[in-house]
Chain A
């Protein structure tokens, strides 16, 4: 249980600030689509004998780049394209795992998260990646913020917005890969966006919002794991439900402050 708490807090620490960028940049559906491709990443990792995390992060990144390339061609609307990629890759992932008969994969664990199964190595991976992601976020905070507010103005002012977009996409792929351990493919994006959406109602600056989102994420993890411990609730679902509950509780505060 201690490992679950530490792992969950680690994920919350990085999901808070990154989740703020996801909702500012309106990339919620993009993130969800990336997460859906993770199962194919698991299969890829297994097939190549690589750790599953690496396979997931690699495939998320591949998906992100594939989306950017296909979207430029303007074949269909962006959200349609994301829907196609998300569910096609989820289906392919399920098929690929089904064909690997000799391997027994914890499908439920991947789909819904299995934070209670975290081992020492997982913890190490989570905290190492968290340090890297937070480090990069801190270093590129202002340019990233500027490019998020308005990409044209940022470019006119000399920022390399293409590179920033790539960095951000890479960070998202990494965070989704580690966040999956907590909430699974189907719910990982909610770890990023629900605390951030709640934090919007409580914060007056971008940094404040990132900080509040982190704290709310951590609180959700603790509440969810408590529910899991005392009432034997499924941990991933309990954490997401706790985050949603906090959002509900924040609604009156937002109205009282006159913010939308």
Chain B
């Protein structure tokens, strides 16, 4: 069960026109789990140097889609294309390290391959884990473990970086810094970033494209800036506000109780329609 990092074959790419910079492309991807349809007809492309934010409610299929793009699971229908020799970086939503394994942070970070000491120190500084190399991974807090996983992904100098809910477990003050870090990483490695969030209201200002998923792609577009929004600035602070944005939904349809699609003939303010859990 290799991670397929090779393109399927010449000409096997999905039919749509794709520019040279595409890293990963999914076409018509469908997946179900125990008889429940999780994804259907999903098309998604992530290009080099692009930050794509995938938003949707809990259970909308975001993580499943990410795992399909990474090649961790095979879709039931549709195709996934990956650029040749793609280096993936993946920060899963959560991970548990069994306390039965004695493992220092240093060991954890180098499990994926050899790393030079200077690179290790610089990356630890970046994620705020400096001086913790000898800490036992099983004893790290949830937030620290998340940053450790981010460090491991960054050390690989990824071409395609997937961050599943990176803001969970990060306090509001830390979120701006984390967004800044993601932006820096994108600029440094010119990688494609897929950022998953269940927060329908706040997305990163540096996001090139927002994709709203609810088992299928509901809508996609550029985020609007919220830099001028006084309420937002008051809430998150002016510095953080420069990195955060509010994304306005413009759905062309709505969902009925069974999850079916109901066409809409008017714009609506989506912000009050969703219950967060």
Q: Is this pair of chains taken from one and the same complex?
A: yes
- Given A160-B1, A206-B107, do A153 and B149 touch, yes or no (CB 8 Å)? yes
Convert A146-162 into 0s and 1s, putting 1 for each residue whose CB lies closer than 8 angstroms to a CB of B. Answer: 10111011111110111
Question: Does A24 lie within 8 Å of B101, measured CB to CB?
Answer: yes
**Smallest beta-carbon distance A166→chain B, Å:** 10
Main DSSP-derived SS at the A contact region: helix
Enumerate chain B residues within 8 angstroms of A200, measured Cβ to Cβ: 100, 102
**Smallest beta-carbon distance B70→chain A, Å:** 6
Instruction: Output the nearest chain A residue to B137 by Cβ-Cβ distance.
Output: A149
- Given A24-B98, A146-B111, do A153 and B152 touch, yes or no (CB 8 Å)? yes
Question: Does A146 lie within 8 Å of B101, measured CB to CB?
Answer: no
**B254-275 interface with A by 8 A CB criterion:** none
Question: Does A206 lie within 8 Å of B112, measured CB to CB?
Answer: no
Which residues on B are within 8 Å of A, measured CB to CB? 1-3, 5, 67, 70-72, 88-90, 92, 95, 97-104, 107-108, 111-113, 136, 149, 152, 156
Question: Does A142 lie within 8 Å of B1, measured CB to CB?
Answer: no
Question: Does B156 lie within 8 Å of A157, measured CB to CB?
Answer: yes
Question: Does B108 lie within 8 Å of A149, measured CB to CB?
Answer: yes
Question: Does B1 lie within 8 Å of A149, measured CB to CB?
Answer: no
- Given A162-B1, A205-B107, do A155 and B102 touch, yes or no (CB 8 Å)? no
Question: Does B1 lie within 8 Å of A157, measured CB to CB?
Answer: no
Which residues on A are within 8 Å of B, measured CB to CB? 23-24, 26, 142, 145-146, 148-150, 152-158, 160-163, 197, 200, 203-206, 208-209, 260
Enumerate chain B residues within 8 angstroms of A197, measured Cβ to Cβ: 100
**Smallest beta-carbon distance A151→chain B, Å:** 9
Give complex CA distance A208, B104 in Å: 12
Question: Does A204 lie within 8 Å of B104, measured CB to CB?
Answer: yes
Enumerate chain B residues within 8 angstroms of A161, measured Cβ to Cβ: 1
Question: Does B112 lie within 8 Å of A160, measured CB to CB?
Answer: no
Give complex CA distance A197, B156 in Å: 33
Enumerate chain B residues within 8 angstroms of A148, measured Cβ to Cβ: 101
